[in-house]
Amino acid sequence: MSSDLNLLASNLNTVFSGRIVSLVNSLDELTMVVQARDMLHVLCCLRDDPAFRFEQLMDLCGVDYSTYGSALCEGGVYLRNDDVPDAYPLRFAIVYHLLSLAHNVRLRVRVFAEDNDLPVLDSVVGIWPCANWYEREAFDLYGIVFAGHPDLRRILTDYGFVGNPFRKDFPLSGHVEMRYDPEQQRVIYQPVSIEPRELVPRIIREEHYGGGK
């Protein structure tokens, strides 16, 4: 780990002692996990503390860990892979990608929503205004609600869209489809008419395919 990352990791452990769930270095990239109740305090300090000065939020993205460590078996049923530890007991998380121009260093912060059925996290628009559209995207695609967001509504899908397309349990064909109805002279929604497709084709070859006589 570079000297800059060593210094950053040391400062993080000192300033946020007792608030860090985990701090991991992988491929010279630091990832810090904090609990939802501490996130606003930690993120404000990361922006304002002279030891950090993460002035820029480069990206904010949602993650659905519902099938993490699983393998897809025949029939579309997920089976647990015992070789992968159950590191993510909570399903939904938001990952903040931060950049400090002053120190020329980056940090990834992960925060898990504590309720899998209704994931809610605090909005960080008051800390980094650019989070506005990022949070709307995560709300739209993952169904994660951001408390305190000034205008939380869908940003990529249609207003009448059903479900959240980046969730692992969302069907590839969706729940409804839309079309223009010439009789009603408007766009209408109807049940999906697309038949489920087999994504992995079954290849059947002759018994001695590729061999000699």
Query: What are the domain boundaries of the chain?
Result: 3-156
- pLDDT tens for 165-185 read 999 988 777 777 777 889 888
Say which amino acid occupies 154: R
Say which amino acid occupies 115: D
Quote the CATH superfamily of domain 3-156. NADH:ubiquinone oxidoreductase Nqo5 subunit (3.30.460.80)
Residues 16, 17, 21, 26: is their CA dihedral positive or negative?
positive
Residue ranges of the chain with per-residue pLDDT less than 70: 1, 71-88, 193-213
Cβ 102 vs Cβ 53: under 8 Å: yes
- pLDDT tens for 5-28 read 889 999 999 999 989 999 999 888
Q: Is pTM, for the whole model, over 0.95?
A: no
Q: Give the list of residues 6+ apart from residue 143 with CB closer than 8 angstroms, or none.
A: 119, 164, 167
